[in-house]
Amino acid sequence: MNKTLEKDKNQIADLLKNATKQALDFIENIDNRFTTSQQTALKEIEKLAEQGVGTKQSLHDFIQKYDKILVASTGPRYWGFVTGGATPAALVGDWLASVYDQNTQSIKGDGDISAQIEFETIAMLLDLFDLPKDFLGGFVTGATMSNFTCLAVARQWLGKQKGFDIAKEGMRTGLSFFSATPHSSAIKSLSMLGVGSDNLVLVNTLDGSREAIDINNLETQIQMIDAKEFILISSAGTVNTVDFDDFKAIAKLREKHNFWWHIDAAFGGFAACSPKLNGLLEGWQDADSITIDCHKWLNVPYESAIYFIKEKHKLLQVATFQNSNAPYLGDPLKNFNYLNFLPENSRRLRALPAWFTLKAYGKEGYREIVERNVELTNSFAKLINNHEAFKVLAPIHLNTVCFTLSDENKDSGEFLSRLNKTRIVFMSPTVFAGRKAIRAAFVNWRTTQKDIELAFVAMLKSL
């Protein structure tokens, strides 16, 4: 064995202690850590040395070189995009996932059965979201891959309706996809799936600063292209205004039309955690597939998201992702193996951080995080509305404030750049209703009223 490697093997306890020390240094100072990087580019790219320096020295070098450029994206005032943190339990689960280093595939058999943990986590998540048990679920790296997974099975379904097997025979033209305000990753998924993002039919949104689908216009467009069967990509939480499509109305459409119904609920799905908010999702249990991001509001580390696909579609799912050449005999759930159900083959025990955090904090824990984030959203919106320099642009539906400067002659982009440079808070730019705007999204478990106040002071200073 290589000498350095052997030395590391013998001092693993010390090495992990050093790593823990560094982790604590980062976590315990997260509230005060900068939110934008202090350095723009690496001064030099290292060459790979012939002889390694061992883990202790590598940790030292890592801290010297990188600690100062890594931002507090997991901290309480990182409100750009939709950025979750990591709860203590999630972090423990994430560390242990690396320690156990399973290749999570099967639930029974002679070898690995770590997928049992994933099954249990999926069942707990169905409980958390108050969804029925007739969904199969699994972990992928993010909501983009979840949208991809769901839409791949949807595409297989659509092919079947038309009498062909896309997984075997390849893509066909003439497939119809509809959506009103799809997330960019759903469009990217259509590109990756060979459908072509230009083939997505955009449906009108409802009047008045809304991003939710106009069902009447959907019906008109269905008739215009005479779509006998199609895929509908609906939203539980659009990015700019966190608007929700009307799921009861969409469910009702099924009496008239034959379609696969997908919901991108990457973060909006967490409204289900609260009895005050779950009305937004009424009817969503009838969807064929649902995307949920775990590295957002579940507050587990990157990379973690799940898909829920109705179990009745399991043969289509296997037809799409089947890895073995042997045709499946009988029920694919009998000899269940994740590699036949999703894009990846080898995969880590990605469910473990979610398992830990769900077990540690339960339904009540998530209700509190979600409700607190929503209260903070409203509190922040109120501060903005009460100040003459700012203007909230879109109605607050859940956990995001979309705002701009009241003075149309002032550039909100320049303001945002000054604000982010204060390093107190981080928000991201957007465009809403043709106007340059700023978004602040609240999904971090650490955020409190004190953070709202600190950020607002920084905003006033940046005017």
Ligand X SMILES: *Cc1c(COP(=O)(O)O)cnc(C)c1O
Instruction: Return residues touching ligand X (CB under 6 A).
Output: 82, 142-144, 183, 185, 237, 239, 264, 266-267, 293, 305
CA-based nearest residue to 27, from 70, 74, 63, 94: 74
240 or 422, CB closer to ligand X?
A: 240
Amino acid at 240: N
CB of 407 to ligand X, least distance (A): 30
Cα Dmax for the chain? 72
In Å, how far are 79, 194, 281, 434 from 198, measured between CA atoms?
Answer: 31, 11, 29, 22
245 or 451, CB closer to ligand X?
A: 245
178 or 267, CB closer to ligand X?
A: 267
Residues 6+ apart with CB under 8 A from 184: none
> Three-state SS for 438?
strand
Q: Which residue is nearest to ligand X (CB)?
A: 142
CB of 336 to ligand X, least distance (A): 25
Cα torsion through 179, 184, 189, 192, rounded to 10: 130
189 or 221, CB closer to ligand X?
A: 189
Alpha helices in 258-403 (DSSP H): 314-321, 352-385
CB of 345 to ligand X, least distance (A): 20
| Alpha carbon distance, N-terminus to C-terminus of the chain | 61
Residues 6+ apart with CB under 8 A from 351: 104, 117, 118, 121, 122, 139
How many Å apart are CA 169 and CA 160, to the nearest integer?
A: 11
83 or 422, CB closer to ligand X?
A: 83
Contact 52, 437 (CB under 8 A): no
305 or 427, CB closer to ligand X?
A: 305
181 or 422, CB closer to ligand X?
A: 181
How many Å apart are CA 458 and CA 452, to the nearest integer?
A: 10
CB of 177 to ligand X, least distance (A): 16
Within a 10 A sphere around the Cβ of 200, how many other Cβ atoms?
19
15 or 305, CB closer to ligand X?
A: 305
CB of 185 to ligand X, least distance (A): 4
> Three-state SS for 236?
strand
CB of 239 to ligand X, least distance (A): 5
CB of 396 to ligand X, least distance (A): 17
Within a 10 A sphere around the Cβ of 432, how many other Cβ atoms?
18
CB of 144 to ligand X, least distance (A): 3
Residues 6+ apart with CB under 8 A from 218: 178, 180, 203, 232, 253
Strands 135-140 and 305-310, bridge-based pairing:
antiparallel
309 or 459, CB closer to ligand X?
A: 309
Ramachandran assignment for 130, one of left (phi > 0), alpha (psi -120 to 50 degrees), beta (any other): left
CB of 283 to ligand X, least distance (A): 18
